[in-house]
Structure 1
């Protein structure tokens, strides 16, 4: 069921705003500004996603003076209708409505402290204007060429700003516009600009969607929001609890409690894993937790904690005494000992694990268990993992004609 609130406007009027609440009270606020299509299901999903990150999110109906709570299809006739509303929108009134939304957020019982603003397309342009004309604490704008008419606002910015610009443009004039935007904003204090090699609709599911760029821009947006407003979760503690139940208690229910409702897991070299709560729980029980050799051990190499992810680098050492469905599917136990360098990238949504990607060099594993003849191939065995643990070991052993040793480190 959709949740809307009424927001007081000037002259005794009011307008609607879609609200998405986080799990915890006393959360920072986020004004999410819709694009030309209004508050549609796509925008509501974004609001719910940021609520999972720990924000009280309100999406003001910027079109209420034209037609309250209207939204348009992103296909067919809806595109022309949306563009018409975009042309008819009074930007001064829109800024007033954003300011009213900020005030309503500050008065909401679940909100505390700071309020940021984030927008896409039309909303991205308005997020920039809000950074210049309201008292928001930070702003994120997914912007296009429409920002060209507001370059002078760069001098009025009052808070940190992140701009996401699509890098794939169709003409020389569009390239020139991107240059003008960069020149106006890039060197202003507190402004960071990112460009992406994709079209302006790269965050919207459909023909122009670019998953990698959308994910990267999301993390960058979240970085500014969390740095400026919080919340900061103890994600290392969550990861430790996850691994404890995965390797020690082998409690699938406890593992899944550390994850979001729709997680996924991907062992990149073998493409083993699963998508979705029940499928992933079944994968852990049937293919993973009981497919770890009893002598297996992890040797830590590095551990990096970011805004919304952890990168855990380690060397796995074990003897292939049981079927390892996730790493060596279809291969019977060989009894061979092997070591392999691995990297786990653990992405979080709020204080829960959203997904995991695990990387390793499968060729070195197959070579060590006798399933790959390395003669004539640029493949090494156990030396690969041991070089990660000891940089004094020689480099370039596979490169013909390279006979000189490494420099000595001071």
Structure 2
């Protein structure tokens, strides 16, 4: 029976008491699969606590955070949820123009306090993450609240609050879109000039990017920049408040199930609910639990030759990633669909340098990007003549282990 990774508890709506005794407002609460972790308050865009903000909350819950998205427009209208049609844009700007920033920051502190007091929040640590309007509120949270860390994406109007910069006492990371139409170049330059070099402040300007480059499905969404920004955000958050996982040990356990015990269900149990694997040279793998389980079962875990071995060369551990450099060695005694699809066994020995980039969400693998030199594999199994092309065979593996072997031999030839 196929066993999926543990699922998080269903998100819920909670009530947060305003600090000025004017009432209470709602917040969307998402929990990690473990049920506990550091706290993270997400400050909304100008479209309210809509499906986008809830999806972001679920995403960060998967990273291991107890996430709360407070309704910051409640003083104008409770539970605003807008889309991105022209009409909704007009309504959103109306709420933005009517937003009382001072009261909004009081509500942010109320949300931070409420989250810090919840039993699911371990160690009482709470950070702030914000987008657009929320990007500025994240900056102000670093100045005015007791949040332990703050991260802001393309904040609007930060340049008007730079006189508060001396109040920043906790780590702050800002993601700035170079071509943000809501933050013209002169405003961006003032922000960078005022904040650059301050202890604990990290600024990242994304060349060629416009506002909302990290909003999935948005007009200006740019996946490479969004991925880089997310990696930097998680690095900032983990350094300040956690959670801390032994990614190296988690990756080793995954490999043990793949190549040692060769158990597909155990392998999948180390991964998120919907993971993916991409073997870059041959475009083999699977996207999503069902497809990846079938791929592992039919084309990978039980399809590697009996003498397959992985020889570690180096390992780099990041905030959310493990990068392994290794030698992948085997005798081609069985068909290997993921590396040599459709190629009958040749009996040839293959030793190939291989690079694995392993991305985690929380303590579960999210994806694997695997790279190797397919031309070298084809040379070693006799399907490519190295005399006709500038390619090499097993020599690539040997030179990785012995850098004193001759260089530039293909050039000399």
Same fold at TM > 0.5: yes
The range that moved more, 360-369 or 291-300, is 291-300
Query: Is the contact between residue 320 and residue 337 of structure 1 (CA under 8 Å) also seen in structure 2?
Result: yes
1:79 equivalenced with 2:89 (yes/no): yes
Provide the residue aligned with 1:338 in structure 2: 350
Q: 1:151 aligns with which of 158, 162, 165?
A: 162
1:155-208 deviation per Cα after TM superposition (whole angstroms, max 9, x unaligned): 22121100001124579x923322221101111111001122322211112231
Question: Secondary structure at the residue paired with 2:15?
Answer: strand
In the TM superposition, residue 365 of structure 1 has moved relative to its aligned partner by 0.8
Query: Is the contact between residue 155 and residue 188 of structure 1 (CA under 8 Å) also seen in structure 2?
Result: no
In the TM superposition, residue 76 of structure 1 has moved relative to its aligned partner by 2.5
Query: Is the contact between residue 25 and residue 111 of structure 1 (CA under 8 Å) also seen in structure 2?
Result: no
Provide the residue aligned with 2:200 in structure 1: 190
Provide the residue aligned with 1:281 in structure 2: 293
Provide the C-alpha distance between the structure 2 equivalents of 1:192 and 1:12, rounded to a whole number of angstroms: 36
In the TM superposition, residue 267 of structure 1 has moved relative to its aligned partner by 0.2
| Matches for 1:57-136 after TM superposition, within 5 Å | 57-112=67-122, 113-136=124-147
Query: Is the contact between residue 145 and residue 174 of structure 1 (CA under 8 Å) also seen in structure 2?
Result: no
TM-score scaled by structure 1? 0.94
Provide the residue aligned with 2:185 in structure 1: 175
In the TM superposition, residue 144 of structure 1 has moved relative to its aligned partner by 4.2
Provide the residue aligned with 1:30 in structure 2: 40
In the TM superposition, residue 378 of structure 1 has moved relative to its aligned partner by 2.0
Provide the residue aligned with 1:408 in structure 2: none
1:264 equivalenced with 2:276 (yes/no): yes
Provide the C-alpha distance between the structure 2 equivalents of 1:86 and 1:39, rounded to a whole number of angstroms: 13
Count of residue pairs brought into register by the alignment:
400
Provide the C-alpha distance between the structure 1 equivalents of 2:234 and 2:131, rounded to a whole number of angstroms: 15
Question: Secondary structure at the residue paired with 2:409?
Answer: coil
Alpha carbons of 1:145 and 1:66: their partners in 2 closer, same or farther (altered >3 Å)? closer
In the TM superposition, residue 38 of structure 1 has moved relative to its aligned partner by 0.8
The range that moved more, 236-245 or 22-31, is 22-31
| Matches for 1:191-206 after TM superposition, within 5 Å | 191-197=201-207, 198-206=209-217
The range that moved more, 141-150 or 232-241, is 141-150
The range that moved more, 20-29 or 57-66, is 20-29
Provide the residue aligned with 2:314 in structure 1: 302
1:7 equivalenced with 2:16 (yes/no): yes
Question: Secondary structure at the residue paired with 2:214?
Answer: coil
The range that moved more, 274-283 or 102-111, is 102-111
The range that moved more, 371-380 or 360-369, is 371-380
Provide the C-alpha distance between the structure 1 equivalents of 2:246 and 2:195, rounded to a whole number of angstroms: 34
In the TM superposition, residue 381 of structure 1 has moved relative to its aligned partner by 1.3
1:396 equivalenced with 2:405 (yes/no): no
In the TM superposition, residue 33 of structure 1 has moved relative to its aligned partner by 0.5
Provide the residue aligned with 1:221 in structure 2: 233
Provide the C-alpha distance between the structure 1 equivalents of 2:299 and 2:100, rounded to a whole number of angstroms: 58
- The unaligned stretches of length 5 or more in structure 2 are 1-9
In the TM superposition, residue 400 of structure 1 has moved relative to its aligned partner by 4.2
Provide the C-alpha distance between the structure 2 equivalents of 1:167 and 1:237, rounded to a whole number of angstroms: 39
Provide the residue aligned with 1:405 in structure 2: none
Q: 1:291 aligns with which of 289, 292, 303?
A: 303
In the TM superposition, residue 399 of structure 1 has moved relative to its aligned partner by 2.3
Query: Is the contact between residue 348 and residue 355 of structure 1 (CA under 8 Å) also seen in structure 2?
Result: yes
Provide the C-alpha distance between the structure 2 equivalents of 1:225 and 1:53, rounded to a whole number of angstroms: 11
Provide the C-alpha distance between the structure 1 equivalents of 2:258 and 2:11, rounded to a whole number of angstroms: 37
Provide the C-alpha distance between the structure 2 equivalents of 1:365 and 1:8, rounded to a whole number of angstroms: 63
- The unaligned stretches of length 5 or more in structure 1 are 402-410
In the TM superposition, residue 394 of structure 1 has moved relative to its aligned partner by 1.7
Question: Secondary structure at the residue paired with 2:410?
Answer: coil
Query: Is the contact between residue 260 and residue 354 of structure 1 (CA under 8 Å) also seen in structure 2?
Result: yes
Alpha carbons of 1:3 and 1:54: their partners in 2 closer, same or farther (altered >3 Å)? same
Alpha carbons of 1:400 and 1:373: their partners in 2 closer, same or farther (altered >3 Å)? same
TM-score scaled by structure 2? 0.93
1:223-276 deviation per Cα after TM superposition (whole angstroms, max 9, x unaligned): 111111111012222212211111122211111110000000000000000001
Query: Is the contact between residue 144 and residue 166 of structure 1 (CA under 8 Å) also seen in structure 2?
Result: no
In the TM superposition, residue 56 of structure 1 has moved relative to its aligned partner by 1.3
Q: 1:48 aligns with which of 53, 58, 75?
A: 58
